[in-house]
Structure 1
Amino acid sequence: MCLVLIIRICLLPLFFSQMRATQRMQVLQPQIQRIQRKYAARKDPRSKEAMQREIMALQQRHNANPLGSCLLSLIQAPILCSLFYTLQSLPASAAGNAEPLSGIDRVMAGDIESSSIFGVRIADSFGTVVSPQSHVVIGVAVALMCLMLFAMQWLLIHRNTPKDAMDSPQFRTQKLTAFVFPAIYVVSGGTLPFGVLLYWLTNNLWNFGQTLCQLRWFPAPGSEAGERKAERDHERENRRRAASGLPSLEEERAAAAREEAHVRREREKSVASRNRRQRKNVQLAKR
């Protein structure tokens, strides 16, 4: 669990970079969809290549990387795999049936394997424990993992999706993933060592917190979270203006509208006066 905290704190700069990249991709989605509709009726390879070139050129012009949102998962994957392999190899190393893992000798492997949390050894899985209490602890850990993942995906899908994209086939596919991945967790959670479950659970809790931060500070434009952020920014700006003795945004817009109406009326009066003079000059010329 501390390993997760250390890794995710080190990855915070990458997280903020990922959020900015995701926002840029979300802003470009309407333009990408227009390009895709442009080539929707063309099925030949040349048209598909032209569509991909236009989309890539658009992304390059706006410095948007579609793979930017995958970096955090890609960086953590080797760590998770290494932890899984280490915890799985501990019983054999402690029993002397396998070679020591790097600096973990037989004695250290035994000490690590015998350490437990809530009565469950970190190298044990759901299939290797025998006590009902251990089964309950592992089951609760898997349930919390699934709950955090489902809640995170539900928030991203329903709160951070632009409203004009909710009728697209991609949105319906995203809604299915909110149920598919927790189901995969249930199946895989029974075979993973308890230490890996703790790592995964802590990681999901961190991801859930990051999702709440994303919805508050980096929402997608046009989404429900984006509208709420716009309202908060509006209220914050009005409070700042009130503290500085400045007019509110509404008062400023009203004053700008009055000024624009005044300028328009003056322009209309000037045009009407010019037209009257022209008609008068025409009448005098006729006489």
Structure 2
Amino acid sequence: MLDLFAATPTPAVPTPTTPPPGDPDFFSIIMWPFKWAVEAILVFWHWIFTSLGMQPDTGLTWVLSIVGLVIIVRSALIPLFVRQIKSQRKMLELAPEMRKIQERYRGKTDQLSREAMSRETMAMYKKHGTTPFSSCLPLLVQMPILLGMFYTLSDVKKHAEWGVGGVGFLDSELTKQFYDAQLFGVAPLHVNMIEAINDGQTVTVAILIVLVVLMIVSQFFTQLQIISKNLSPEAKTGQAYQMQRIMLYVLPLAFVFSGVFFPLGVVMYWFISNLWTMAQQFVVIRNLPTPGSEAAKARDERLAKRGKALDAKGRVIPLEKHQAEQQRLFEEAQKAKAEAPKRQQPISKQRAKKQAQKGKQDGTSAPSQNGQTPDAPTQGGNAS
């Protein structure tokens, strides 16, 4: 009997290569709701694709779930994206006015001058309904989701080895399926480039390099759309435009670091999000371009070919109605100009005296520069 039990093989217990999950720290508590949201969306899309017959532990199923996560997050950010576009446009249009403020206080380094310049700048932003931080809102809102995605995928290996799940719907079984999922059957979604290099996963390294290059190209093209097609001539002369040109070449380089330290699943999320941004930017620039920009001229030409034009409120109207509106506005401007009081040209005192003497000889008085007759007494004495 003892020999029989001794001959029975005991199941091998896998040895974890990561430390056991510990108690949550302060940062983990802050990230908990974002990780919960990421897990809920991923599991929702995973359930849809597996219900359609796809294998639950394949890379394609989880990559498509990541695509679904991008669709939901970026769709929710569309209002903020439109606000970002408008804010960037206003900031670039305000560049000439900003330069005037800077010129007024050039060389003045005292505290009062700096405070006055700051007040004028904030008053200008308030007048036009924008701030320099409005253009950063979509990125700031998306960053917690991106960090939630990062920590969710980073914990997959640890949780799978210790047989536990995430903070929400990503239970231990789904975590193990995610851990086993491989893109194209060779590249694990939870592995980053450093781990792939250390483990000798050449194909995974190659896939990550290709994705990073595609991320840089998509980001570069997105920024290029803005500065080449969607800026007015006035905006291209300001400091904000120079910053845009610098960011055109500097910002894409940030993806080099993300491709090294981020797991493959996060890199996939970022790349798909970049494609969304590029397409969204194209639609906005095509349909809501900055007035006076190359994109605005191209849109007006497209509308003219269709016999359409934009009215003062930005609505598409027939070309005949637009021409009639422009004619009406021109006539109103001419009428207002004709009805405006004529501004009297200032004259010198010597000439005013000559006109006064001539007026006395003719029995009239010539008006002076302050609107009174030269001989009329003022409140403090005579005019002369």
Same fold (TM over 0.5): yes
Q: Answer whether contact 1:159 1:224 (CA < 8 A) is retained.
A: yes
| 8 A Cα contact 1:25 1:64, kept in partner | yes
Q: 1:156 to 1:186 in 2, by over 3 A?
A: same
**Partners of 1:144 and 1:229 in 2: CA distance:** 29
Identity %: 30
Q: 2:308 aligns with which of 229, 233, 236?
A: 236
| Equivalent position of 1:189 in the other structure | 259
1:79 and 1:199 mapped to 2: Cα distance? 11
The equivalent of 2:344 in structure 1 is none
Contact 2:96/2:238 (CA < 8 Å) preserved in 1? no
Q: Structure 1 pair 248/167, CA: closer, same or farther in 2 (3 Å)?
A: closer
Residue equivalent to 2:79? 13
- What is the alpha-carbon distance in structure 1 between the residues aligned to residue 203 and residue 293 of structure 2? 44
Within 2, Cα distance between the matches of 1:84 and 1:50? 44
Query: How far did residue 73 of structure 1 move?
Result: 0.6
1:48 aligns with one of 106, 109, 114: 114
Residues 42-96 of structure 1: CA distance to partner in whole angstroms, max 9, x if unpaired?
2222112111111211222232233221111111100101111111111111111
Partner residue of 2:194 out of 109, 121, 127: 127
Report 1:143-222 matches (<5 A).
Answer: 143-222=213-292
Deviation at 1:232, TM superposition (A): 3.8
The alpha carbon displacement at 1:168 in A equals: 4.0
Deviations 1:23-46 (A, max 9, x none): 333433322222222222322221
- Report the Cα distance in structure 2 between the residues aligned to 1:229 and 1:40, rounded to whole angstroms: 40
Conservation of the 8 A alpha-carbon contact between 2:95 and 2:238: no
How large is the RMSD of aligned CA atoms in angstroms?
A: 3.0
Deviations 1:148-179 (A, max 9, x none): 00111112122223323434444333322222
Among residues 95, 100, 104, which one is paired with 1:38 in the alignment?
Answer: 104
**Equivalent of 1:107, from 164, 173, 179?**
173
How far apart, CA to CA, are the structure 2 residues paired with 1:167 and 1:140?
36
Separation in structure 1 between the aligned mates of residue 240 and residue 83 of structure 2, nearest angstrom: 24
Count of matched residue positions in the alignment of Structure 1 and Structure 2? 254
Residue aligned with 2:291, SS: coil
Which range is displaced more, 21-30 or 142-151? 21-30
1:258-277 per-residue CA deviation (whole Å, 9 max, x = no partner) reads xx8xxx9xxxxxxxxxxxxx
CA contact (8 A) 1:152 1:208 kept: yes
Amino acid at match of 2:97: Q
Q: Which runs of 5+ in 1 are unaligned?
A: 265-287
Where 2:94 maps in the other structure, the secondary structure is: helix
- Which is greater in Rg? 2
SS at the partner of 1:190? helix
- 1:138 to 2:208 alignment: yes
- Between the aligned partners of 1:33 and 1:230, the Cα distance in structure 2 is 30
TM-score by length of 2: 0.59
The one-letter amino acid of 2:89's match is Q
- SS class of match (1:124): coil
1:19 counterpart letter in structure 2: I
Q: Name the residue aligned to 1:118.
A: 184
Assess, with a 3 A threshold, how the Cα gap between structure 1 residues 248 and 53 changes in structure 2: closer, same or farther: closer
Residue by residue, what CA displacement relative to the aligned partner does 1:100-157 show, whole Å, maximum 9, x if unpaired?
4313444332111111222322101223233433222222211111110011111212
Indicate if the aligned counterparts of 2:95 and 2:240 stay in contact, CA closer than 8 A. no
From the superposition, tell whether residues 167 and 247 of structure 1 become closer, same or farther in structure 2 (CA, over 3 Å).
closer
Alpha-carbon contact 1:39-1:47 (below 8 Å) kept = yes
Task: Write the letter of the residue equivalent to 1:175.
Answer: R
Q: Which amino acid aligns with 1:101?
A: G
Q: Distance in 2 between matches of 1:208 and 1:121?
A: 27
Residues 23 and 219 in structure 1, CA contact (< 8 A), matched pair in contact too: no
Note the C-alpha offset of 1:206: 0.7
In 1, distance between residues paired with 2:303 and 2:265? 42
One-letter identity of the residue aligned with 2:189? I
What TM-score does the superposition give when structure 1 sets the normalisation length? 0.77
- Partners of 1:189 and 1:132 in 2: CA distance: 15
Task: Measure the CA separation in 2 of the matches of 1:171 and 1:24.
Answer: 12
Q: 1:226 aligns with which of 283, 296, 301?
A: 296
CA distance in 1, matches of 2:266, 2:131: 31
CA distance in 2, matches of 1:191, 1:175: 27
Bigger RCO of structures 1 and 2 (CA < 8 A, at least 6 apart): 1
